[in-house]
Chains A and B, each alone.
Chain A
């Protein structure tokens, strides 16, 4: 026990001796917190809107006005025709053009189908999709208003003795009522940073000893192999837990994201998750000769696993085969757990299957890596 503590102390001294390293380990999460919280917004605004109006009527101008006051669209002040549209898109002056055919207002007045065309640049399919759905919603609202107007006109004509039913949707957003992307991204950052930092630090610190030959000194010391393993992983587990606390505090102070659930459940799950990342880091160190190999092997594990575990895009939208792969990735469970605790206030009762999965995966990976590490040592 004593010897393990000594080794932990040595490792912490080695890591923290370097002021830059300290800065990086603790400043990087803060920078990322800010980037993820502010820059990742899927709530698209300021879509530049151009108008191609062959109708030039009150109705067409009214539609454009409704689009602008919705807050999603900016009137780019671009009036185009068939020929000018391409240039307007290519120069990036507008993202979307509303086309009104010459009979637009006449059809509305007659109560017939009035067609308008939403023409998008389309090269940013994400933006375009969102813009389309906003525009469709504006058309929906406009339709509901026109329908009401018409019906009341008819009622008046008929003496007002009929009843017209109405069904209105009453939307309610659970868990993240303001629909802020930050609420989704910031808890996710805990998983992201823990993965990035602990896997890289563990795998590189061990291969570094191999590269510089100091691993021999450890081997000839009276330390048992399990002591070496614990001494090499506990420091990074400690650093990991500090980062978790840092992000929780940062999220609360900067983005006002409070944990709905229990913080100890969160810390406990983080610990379960660290078993996994440290195990992976240890494993990578056993298959790498140089720090560069350790780093690249870590990267090729880390980046894809972040992508398909649901960091930015929900796993449930992925093809089923990819979802199967994701069952093998600890991050998948961890993302569910942290978001559950942060946003839904979920606890053991709901999250135990994920925690169990983390525990089983973590113990398996860690033991396999430790066995391999011991074999390599001797």
Chain B
């Protein structure tokens, strides 16, 4: 890709379009910050303050002790003490209550007699992730309460072996993100998502816009070759993509304290290559679309959901079914995401990430090649 005078002239023209439309430019540069705010501040994958309601049919010190054991776990907020199951069910139907605990009558009597006892835990399963976690927390809290009463019973009979509850204590430790802040994991990923979306939707309009307005013919009668036009059109958007990346890096590191352990040069290099992939997709969309509405729907389809869902940004790829995993193999965003997390969190360098970088490079070249082929055929 040789940059000559004609390319620069086209690039200048395109840059003028971009700069003149102040609002579009501002949106393109503000969107990353909006995303950053939402994902760093509004969305936490860490689940606590689960709203709990307890139906206590027993109302004894023993049942209150069980309730205390559950709220003491720190994950639940005791929000209501409904009188009966019906009231609890209504609260859950409305969504006010996410977890319910039902303590049967005679609970304390059973405990003191040393009989088996069960308490019911209801979880709102609509959002299965939170439900799963809430269920685990509640189970663990009841289990620890149960362990305590067994110990008490043993103590009373003068046969306590030990004072603590579990035999096995499982300590937890995370190597690369020891504070386990979901921010540290999410913010680097935003770079990939934002660049995919912005580059795809901005460039998807460029060619088709000129075609709709008929100015594409004017460009073609100039000495600029189709290749010059394409390369020239890419440069300003490439710059916007890189600016977006830079803003997220700066804000992420300085405002949200995301550790950036690895090689900055590798970060910029990989982002530069990835930007070409995004441009390639946008240009391809632009040259197959007849009007801007189609271009925008197509580029949203190709950038938004794949960026959010298939790239591994929020949901681990390894738990997806095999067919979907196979689809993710062709997504540039997936590799870029691995590079980003490697650089930010693990401090990986060139040697560890060379494979992903190569894949991105090949994809970028391929996408731009196909887009320019398609573009030439279209005007030919």
> Within 8 Å CB of B24, what residues of A?
292-293, 296
Q: Counting CB contacts under 8 A, is A28 at the interface?
A: yes
State which size class the interface on A falls in: 35 or more
Note all chain B residues with C-beta closer than 8 A to A25.
297
A15 to chain B, nearest CB (A): 8
Is A114 a contact of B167 with CB atoms below 8 Å? yes
Tell yes or no: B216 within 8 A of A by CB.
Answer: no
Task: Say yes or no for A248: interface residue by CB 8 A criterion.
Answer: no
CB within 8 Å for A123 and B341 given contacts A46-B318, A168-B116, A313-B45: yes
Assess whether B227 is interfacial by the CB under 8 Å rule. Answer: no
We find that the number of chain B residues with CB closer than 8 angstroms to chain A is 127
B218 adjacent to chain A (CB < 8 Å):
no
Is B239 positioned at the interface, with any CB of A under 8 Å from its CB? no
Q: Quick check: B136 and A133 within 8 Å, CB to CB?
A: yes
In the bound assembly, the distance between CA atoms of A35 and B320 in angstroms comes to: 10
Report whether A292 and B205 are in contact in the complex, using a CB–CB cutoff of 8 Å.
yes
In the assembled complex, which residues on chain A have CB atoms less than 8 Å from the CB atom of B297?
A: 21, 24-25, 28, 197, 200
Q: Binary interface profile of A, 223-265, with partner B (CB < 8 Å = 1, else 0)?
A: 0000000000000000000000000000000000000000000
CB distance from B335 to the nearest CB of A (A): 13
Bound state CA distance, A337 and B159, in angstroms?
56
Residues of B contacting A: mostly: helix
Tell whether, in the assembled complex, residue B147 and residue A295 are in contact, meaning their CB atoms are under 8 Å apart: no
Closest to B209 in A: A292
**A291-B292 in contact (CB<8A):** yes
Q: Is the CB of B324 within 8 A of A38?
A: yes
Q: Mark B31-52, 1 if CB is under 8 A from A, else 0.
A: 1001100110111111101010
In the complex, what's the smallest C-beta–C-beta distance from B200 to chain A, in angstroms? 11
Q: A residues 102-149 with Cβ under 8 Å of B?
A: 107-108, 111-130, 132-137, 139-140, 142-144, 146-147
Asked whether B28 lies within 8 Å of A125 as measured between CB atoms, the reply is no
Q: A115 vs B113: C-alpha distance in the bound complex, in angstroms?
A: 33
- How far apart sit A350 and B45, CA to CA, in the bound complex (Å)? 28
Q: Is A183 an interface residue (CB 8 A)?
A: yes
Please report the C-alpha to C-alpha distance between residue A140 and residue B169 in the assembled complex, in whole angstroms: 9
Q: Nearest chain A CB to B237's CB is how many angstroms away?
A: 12
**In the bound complex, CA of A36 to CA of B320 (Å):** 11
Instruction: Decide if B34 touches A304 in the complex (CB within 8 Å).
Output: yes
Q: Are A45 and B125 in contact (CB under 8 A)?
A: no
Does the CB pair A143–B147 fall under 8 Å? Answer: yes
Chain A residues lying within 8 Å of B15, measured Cβ to Cβ, are: none
Q: Give me the 4 closest cross-chain CB pairs, A-B, nearest first.
A: A163-B114, A122-B174, A176-B125, A42-B129
Interface residues of B (CB under 8 A from A): 21, 23-24, 27-28, 30-31, 34-35, 38-39, 41-47, 49, 51, 66, 90, 92-95, 98, 110-133, 135-140, 142-143, 145-147, 149-150, 153-154, 157, 159, 161-162, 164-178, 180-182, 184-185, 197, 201, 205, 209, 212-213, 289-294, 296-298, 300-301, 304-306, 309-310, 314-316, 318-321, 323-324, 341-342, 345-346, 348, 352
9 pairs, CB–CB < 8 Å, chain A vs chain B: A25-B297, A44-B316, A108-B167, A126-B314, A128-B180, A137-B139, A165-B149, A167-B146, A336-B95
Q: Beyond the given A32-B305, A91-B352, A163-B153, please list 10 additional residue pairs across the A-B interface where CB-CB is below 8 A.
A: A18-B291, A20-B289, A28-B297, A35-B306, A39-B309, A107-B167, A113-B169, A118-B171, A169-B142, A212-B212
A positions within 8 Å CB-CB of B: 18, 20-21, 24-25, 28, 31-32, 35-36, 38-47, 63, 85-86, 89-91, 107-108, 111-130, 132-137, 139-140, 142-144, 146-147, 150-151, 154, 158, 162-177, 179-181, 183-184, 196-197, 200-201, 204-205, 208, 211-212, 290-293, 295-297, 299-300, 303-304, 307-308, 312-314, 316-319, 322, 336, 339-340, 343-344, 346, 350
